[in-house]
Every structure is written in structure tokens, then in C-alpha cells.
Chains A and B, each alone.
Chain A
Amino acid sequence: MIYHITDNLSKAIPLADIPLVEYAALYHDLEQRLQDERYHVAHYFARLEEGQLRFYLILLDDKQHNILLSSHALDYYDEVTLPSLTALHPALHPFEREIAELFSVKFGSMPWLKPLRFSADRLNRNSTIDNYPFYHIEGESLHQVNVGPIHAGIIEPGAFRFICNGESVLHLEIALGYQHRGLEREFSNDSNRLRQTLLAENIAGDSAVSHASAFALAIEKLTDFTPSEALIIERHIAQELERMAMHIADTGALCMDVGYQLGQVACEALRTMTINTTQAWCGNRFGKGLIRPMGTNKPLNSAKIDMIRQNVAEIARRYEEVRQDIKTSPTLLARFEQCGNVGRAEMLRIGGVGMAARASNAPRDIRLSHPYGLFGKELQHESVIKRQGDVMARLMVRCREVLQSAEYIQQLLNLYSTATATQQPDYEAKLTPEALSLSLTEGWRGEICHVAITDKQGNIATYKVKDPSLHNWLALALAVRSEGISDFPICNKSFNLSYCGHDL
């Protein structure tokens, strides 16, 4: 067997259990396997281990709900060229680019090897963000438009280079890395569990709850702690509230970008109401401080349950009106439909995940394929899938998911009983030494994957984070091809990807 098979609920895997195979065997197996859309790679990274570079591959089987783990290794001074998997399956491009950037590993026949995020610990210091190898096309009638890296407003930095023929975009290249903070390394530099939790909350500010939940799950898998049902429900509610808040905010932002004021102000009010609900619960509008490993400082009580129940019902009722209004407004449909198309085949090829993939009829949903917490048990999740893959489809997925989340929150509140009291968080628990723990959650953007590897002393030696943005930025670049350049903002908003989640 070249894989160790596990799932999203099982405990950490001892490193010794992960098979170490020949690269050729893995390459040939993946070449076959990834042609089937039920498989996709959740993470592929390398780390230095006793003089060798060991590559870990995490493959997800959506149909069997399994996680397949494998690894291969290179001696540190090996000058081998590995045949590139990206050449076969473009979805792997961010992983191979990262490995190449960090360790100068050579990938043969890699179609387009360029830096991913200019990590602070990259090997080639001559490759800097200032000499990013932008693609260019020569032509009499073509012109280049460069946007960024400094955003004119308050959004994070990223350089976008358009090659246009008049108003229409031929090619968009997105260069990121300006937000790189060396975050993954900080997890192993600092063994203080509370500080690690705070780091996890700040991976991407708009997904604080999702990333903190993924971190807490990854840590809990390395201990013998089993979360109580109340704790699981609280985390679910927090995550669904976050999903609602962000989807509503993006509905408003899309309305704003096409100049539709009514939709904008209605959604802004609803979004404020949603994040204020989170604030009334835990004291922070983005749910920071709410998710802690092995317990919580902010348990629900009956007053808070009533407050959440009422607010969520009110938000769902008013948001449904906005949704009907958007669906029946011809000027909005004229802007959103047939704009920024990404087809299903394309989306699967580049490894798109989350709501953007679901809008293109690619059923990537961790809640369904690799359930965690109460999903697959008390909560029977049904993915919201749209076929068209345009801005409207992504907007409608958001709309439906808001209403779905509102319903889940009501169900979860019914299940919640204050009797199974939640504990205080435990920041001192010993972690299993020499083990790999991985957790998958479905944030509002999509699949979030955290991997923790511990050393002999039971400290975190390597921590790897994957935000869905890592895959989906390429989907945005494809969406604007042959669109008018003036439609870029709504295509961008329809994905609303994270810069810091990508740059880490």
C-alpha cells in the first residue's frame, strides 16, 4: 500500500505509520487517480527531517470520505529532478511552486514555475517581489494595465496585471506575496498554546472562526481529548454565523460595485446585525476569542441562545427579501449573468474548492465529503450547487448558503443543552510526539486544511495551513478572460479571496 487511509474524525497518525514510497510509484498512482474527480489533493508539502527532505501528500477521496496519506523523500544533497505533477494536473501548482521556492527542488517539465509568495525562508534570495516574472504578450493593439500592489482603498496588497485588447481582457496575472508574515513558522517558534491559537485566528481576519476551529481540531487530535457535544455545537454555530456574515457582506459588496444602492444598504445593515450577534456572544464581531482548544471561555447560556435565535430568524427573513429582489431585478441580472464564467471542467482542473467550485457545478464541500463535528450525524448537510459558474451563480450559492446556515443554527440551538457543560480551555495539554494531525473544515470560502507535525518532545515542529484562496485565485484569473476589464471588480468580489490567507 502506498497510502495510509484515515478520515477527518480520527486521531493523529504516528509519523511511522505514513508510508515512505518511491516518487515514481506515487507519481504513477497520482497520474491515474487524479483523473477521477472524486480525488483531490488537500496538501502537498515538504519538510526537513534528519538530513532528508520528506514530502507529505494528503489526498482526499470525496466518495469514500477517506483521507489518504503518503510521503516520499529526497536526500538533502540529491540533485534529482522530479517529474512535475503540475504538468499532469494543474491543480497541484501552488504546492509544487511552494516546495520549489522553499527548497529549490527542481520539478521537470513544470509548465510555469514562478514564485508563489516569496516566503521569508525561501532559498533563492535573488528572486524578489520586485522582479516578479510577469507574463507579457507583444502586440500593436494590446495594452497593459497594472493594478496594485498598493490598493487605493483599504484592501490588502496584491499586484494584478491585465493584458487587454481595448476594453476586453486577454490575460490576467495575479502576483501575491506582499502579505507574507512567516506565519507557519511562528507556530513552531512559539510553543505557547494560547499564542498559537491567536496566530490561527489571524491567518485570515475574515475566517477567524474557521481557522481557529481547524487549529483547535488539529490540536485536539494530538491529545486524548474528546470535545463535548455542547462544545462542538458552539463551534458549529460560530462558524455558520461567520459564513452568514461574510456571504451577506459580499452580497452587499456586489450590489455596491454595480451601483445598486438598495441592495447594498440592506445587506450592510444585515451584515452588521450578524456580526453584532457574534459580538454579543463573545465580545468580538469576528468571533476572535471564541474558539479555543479543548474548551471555551464563552459558553452559551439561555439568554444568549434566545438572542441568537431571534437575530438569526430576523436576518434570514430580511435576507430572503433581498434575495428575491436581486433575482427579479433586470438591471442586476444584466450585470451578473454571463459574466466571469468558469466552467466545471476548468474549475476541477485548477483544483477550485468551496463555494466558487460549487457555483461551477464542482461538488467540493468538506461538510459533505469529509464531515466533522455534527455534520453527517445530527446535521444532514446538502451542498448548494449551481451549474452556470458565473457571477450570478456564485451570488446565488451565497444567498442559499446564508439561508441554509440560518436553518442549521436554529437546529443546533435546539440540540444544545446547557447541561453538558463546556470546560475552560486547556493550553497545557501534552501532545502526542512524532505524529501528524490534520483537520479539514469548510470555511465560508471553502476547504481549510491545517496540518501539524510534532517532534519527539511533543512540540509542534511543522505547521502547515491551507486557505481555499490558494486554489481559487487562479479561478479569478480565468474568470476575467475575454470579459470587459470594467467587469473585473464584480468578478473579483464574487470570489472575494484572501490575500493574507494565500501569503501566510
Chain B
Amino acid sequence: MAVLLNTILMIVVALTITGVINRTRALLSGRKGIPFLQHIRDVKVLWRKGSVYSTTTTTLFKIAPAIYLGVSIVAMLFIPVANLYPLISFEGDVICFAYTLALARLAIILAAMDTGSSFEGMGAAREALYGALIEPALMMGFATLAMFCGYTSFADIFEFEQAFDLHHTIVMLLIAYLFIQVAFIEAGRVPVDDPRTHLELTMIHEVMCLDYSGIDLAMIKIAGWLKTACFAMIAANAIATTCCFYWWFATPVAILLTALAIGIVESTQARNKLVRNITFVVTISAMATLIFFIGYLLHLNIDI
């Protein structure tokens, strides 16, 4: 029962984050905005449509969206919602989660190269670069959790019995911050990428999906929501474990924290110059390393 509820909540988070982002942006720009569920309606329309394929593409291009979506669903099944249990859980599943997502990235990069388009080649190069640069941050984040909590499975990491512990709170808040930053990059949001841009030359994630249409595009969009939901939920779990470790707390936190952060940043800030993105991503990796050392020092129980 708990597993079923866990999966449903993850899906709810995945489906609502985009809606909240759109609503936040609309409010901040003084507009009424599109209906809350418009993004789901769009995908429903896409889902009913057939796909058009370029003659230069091969089977690889056709199966990539399925791999991308399938792998993202599997990744989602690793993530617990606070005190509930995920469907898949084993020792070391944090590593498995990270590389499951890397597989999704690989599939979509290969598909982009398969089209032979110069835009998509550029997009693939950028995605590969940022993917490689953000991986240390992800691994450092998981390493901090594993070292501090002593477990290597999401289901166990966030279980915390004590009422309040300052060290634990500090590390967990830092981890939450880190994963929100990772969510920005993984979801392709401002300041790294801009999902709304219509300019092929500046796109990163969007440009790789330019040749996709219909049901394939729907799968890619859903997979993107699921990926964002995973990182949002990890951050929410880290916060929930410090104060209120229940699913009814972690779910709204996951939605609101990520969506409001993305919505506010996208409304008030311009995108990075592309060359500055590398600095931005590496800074997050550096910050992850710093968090690891802070976690290590606090784990040694040095008085602060």
C-alpha cells in the first residue's frame, strides 16, 4: 500500500511541478497565465498523434524516446516519499539511480547525433559536456548522504529517528540546496538552459528534441517531468527529515520548493552566456565537494 501511494505521489509531483512553474511565472509577470493543467493537455494531444521521421534517421532515433522514458520511470521508482517505501530499493541504489539517468542522457544524445542536423549535434555536445560536469556534484551529494547517514539506499538514508540534531539539519539543508541546483540543470531551466526559447542556436536540451514529433515528443516531455520530480523529491526528503518526516509534508515541499525556485529565477533573471555555464556547473560540483567536507567534519562530531 505504502509502495503504491509512494509511486502515485511521485507521479503527482512530476505532473504538477510544471504547472506551478507556469503559474508562478505568469503571476510574477502580471499575467493570468495558461490553465494549470495545460502542459498535460498538450502532451495528451501529442500522445494521440503519429510521428514524422526524417529520412536520415535510423532505428536508434525511433527507440530513443522509449528508452528515455522507460529509464526515467525506473529512476523514479527508486525515490521514496518521506516515510513511504519506493518500489525498488537495495543497497547502493543511489549509484544505480545516478547511472540510470546517465543512460537516459546517452540515449537522447545518440538520437540527436543520429539526425545529422548541425543544430542537434551542437545540442548533443553541450548536453554531454554539462552532463559530465554535473556528475561529480551528483556523486558528491550521494557520497555525503551515504557517509553521514551510513546507508547507500534512498529508503534508509532519510530515515532519522531523533527529534532534532543540529549537525544533521545543517547537512540535510545543504543537501537540499545542492539537489535543487542539480534539478535546475537536469531540467534544463534558466540560468543554464531556457525551455521557452525559440532559438535553435542557444538551446541545449530542446534542440536535441527538435526532430521529434507526436508520441515520441510526448514521451520525452514526460520523462523530463519525471527526472525533475526525482531531484525535487530528494531535496524535499532532505528537508522533511529534519522536521516532519511524513509524506503529506514532503510532497507539497517537493512541488513548491522546486517550482517556486525555478519560477522565480526564470522571471527575474537572464540566462547565462553559454561559456559561463561551464563555470556555473563546475561551481555546483565544487560546492558539492565542500558540502561533503562539511558533512565529514560534522560527522566526526566536532563541536561547532
Chain A positions within 8 Å of B, measured between CB atoms, are 143-147, 152-153, 167, 255, 257-262, 265, 329, 331-332, 334-335, 339, 484-489
The verdict on B31 contacting chain A, using a C-beta distance below 8 Å, is: yes
B122 touches A485 (CB 8 A): yes
* CB<8 Å pairs between A and B, sample of 20: A143-B118, A145-B201, A147-B200, A167-B275, A259-B194, A259-B266, A259-B269, A260-B269, A262-B29, A262-B267, A265-B31, A331-B269, A332-B270, A334-B276, A335-B272, A339-B273, A485-B122, A486-B274, A488-B201, A489-B201
Which residue of chain A has its CB nearest to the CB of B199? A489
Report Cα–Cα, A488/B200, bound state, in Å.
10
For residue B199, which residues in chain A have a CB less than 8 angstroms away from its CB? 257, 489
A334 touches B272 (CB 8 A): yes
A331 touches B191 (CB 8 A): yes
Given the interface pairs A152-B200, A153-B198, A489-B202, the reply to whether A261 lies near B28 with Cβ below 8 Å is: yes
A259 touches B271 (CB 8 A): yes
Which residue of chain B has its CB nearest to the CB of A326? B270
Given the interface pairs A145-B119, A262-B29, A484-B275, the reply to whether A152 lies near B198 with Cβ below 8 Å is: yes
Which residues of chain B (201-225) have a CB below 8 Å from chain A?
A: 201-202
Which residue of chain A has its CB nearest to the CB of B266? A261
Which residues of chain B (21-68) have a CB below 8 Å from chain A?
A: 25, 28-31
Report Cα–Cα, A261/B197, bound state, in Å.
11
Report Cα–Cα, A488/B30, bound state, in Å.
30
Which residue of chain B has its CB nearest to the CB of A164? B122
For residue B119, which residues in chain A have a CB less than 8 angstroms away from its CB? 145
The verdict on B268 contacting chain A, using a C-beta distance below 8 Å, is: yes
A486 touches B267 (CB 8 A): no
Besides the known contacts A145-B118, A261-B268, 6 further A-B residue pairs in the complex with CB atoms under 8 A apart: A259-B266, A260-B270, A261-B266, A265-B30, A335-B272, A484-B273
Report Cα–Cα, A339/B28, bound state, in Å.
29
6 shortest interchain CB distances as A-B pairs: A259-B271, A258-B270, A260-B270, A259-B194, A486-B274, A331-B270
Report Cα–Cα, A487/B268, bound state, in Å.
20
Report Cα–Cα, A334/B277, bound state, in Å.
12
For residue B31, which residues in chain A have a CB less than 8 angstroms away from its CB? 265
Main SS of the interface on chain B?
Answer: loop
> Which residue in A167, A261, A334 is a CB contact (below 8 Å) of B25?
A261
A145 touches B25 (CB 8 A): no
**Shortest distance between the CB of A169 and any CB in chain B (Å):** 10
Which residues of chain B (250-284) have a CB below 8 Å from chain A?
A: 266-276
The verdict on B190 contacting chain A, using a C-beta distance below 8 Å, is: yes
Report Cα–Cα, A410/B271, bound state, in Å.
37
Number of CB contacts from chain A to chain B under 8 A: 79
Report Cα–Cα, A31/B182, bound state, in Å.
61
**Shortest distance between the CB of B299 and any CB in chain A (Å):** 37
B202 touches A486 (CB 8 A): yes
Report Cα–Cα, A260/B25, bound state, in Å.
11
For residue B118, which residues in chain A have a CB less than 8 angstroms away from its CB? 143-146
Which residue of chain A has its CB nearest to the CB of B31? A265
For residue A331, which residues in chain B have a CB less than 8 angstroms away from its CB? 191, 269-272
B273 touches A259 (CB 8 A): no
Which residue of chain B has its CB nearest to the CB of A485? B201
A335 touches B271 (CB 8 A): yes
Report Cα–Cα, A485/B203, bound state, in Å.
11
Report Cα–Cα, A324/B190, bound state, in Å.
22
For residue B268, which residues in chain A have a CB less than 8 angstroms away from its CB? 261-262
Given the interface pairs A143-B118, A153-B198, A489-B202, the reply to whether A258 lies near B271 with Cβ below 8 Å is: yes
For residue B271, which residues in chain A have a CB less than 8 angstroms away from its CB? 258-260, 331, 335
Report Cα–Cα, A403/B249, bound state, in Å.
51
Which residues of chain B (101-154) have a CB below 8 Å from chain A?
A: 118-119, 121-122
**Shortest distance between the CB of A112 and any CB in chain B (Å):** 25
Report Cα–Cα, A485/B275, bound state, in Å.
11
B202 touches A261 (CB 8 A): no
For residue B274, which residues in chain A have a CB less than 8 angstroms away from its CB? 167, 484, 486-487
Report Cα–Cα, A81/B65, bound state, in Å.
61
Given the interface pairs A334-B273, A486-B202, A487-B274, the reply to whether A262 lies near B196 with Cβ below 8 Å is: no
> Which residue in A145, A261, A329, A485 is a CB contact (below 8 Å) of B267?
A261
**Shortest distance between the CB of A322 and any CB in chain B (Å):** 13
For residue A259, which residues in chain B have a CB less than 8 angstroms away from its CB? 190-191, 194, 196-197, 266, 269-271
> Which residue in A143, A146, A335, A489 is a CB contact (below 8 Å) of B270?
A335
Which residue of chain B has its CB nearest to the CB of A257? B199
Which residue of chain A has its CB nearest to the CB of B274? A486
**Shortest distance between the CB of B195 and any CB in chain A (Å):** 9
Interface centre among A143, A167, A339 (most CB of B within 10 A): A167
Which residues of chain B (72-92) have a CB below 8 Å from chain A?
A: none
B197 touches A257 (CB 8 A): yes
**Shortest distance between the CB of A295 and any CB in chain B (Å):** 42
Report Cα–Cα, A335/B197, bound state, in Å.
15
Which residue of chain B has its CB nearest to the CB of A144? B118
For residue A486, which residues in chain B have a CB less than 8 angstroms away from its CB? 201-202, 273-274
Which residue of chain A has its CB nearest to the CB of B195? A259
For residue A258, which residues in chain B have a CB less than 8 angstroms away from its CB? 270-271
Report Cα–Cα, A487/B271, bound state, in Å.
11
For residue B267, which residues in chain A have a CB less than 8 angstroms away from its CB? 261-262
**Shortest distance between the CB of A475 and any CB in chain B (Å):** 19
For residue A487, which residues in chain B have a CB less than 8 angstroms away from its CB? 202, 273-274
For residue B194, which residues in chain A have a CB less than 8 angstroms away from its CB? 259
Which residue of chain B has its CB nearest to the CB of A268? B29
B273 touches A335 (CB 8 A): yes
Report Cα–Cα, A258/B190, bound state, in Å.
9
Interface centre among A153, A262, A488 (most CB of B within 10 A): A262
For residue B201, which residues in chain A have a CB less than 8 angstroms away from its CB? 145, 147, 485-486, 488-489
For residue B196, which residues in chain A have a CB less than 8 angstroms away from its CB? 259
Which residue of chain A has its CB nearest to the CB of B204? A486
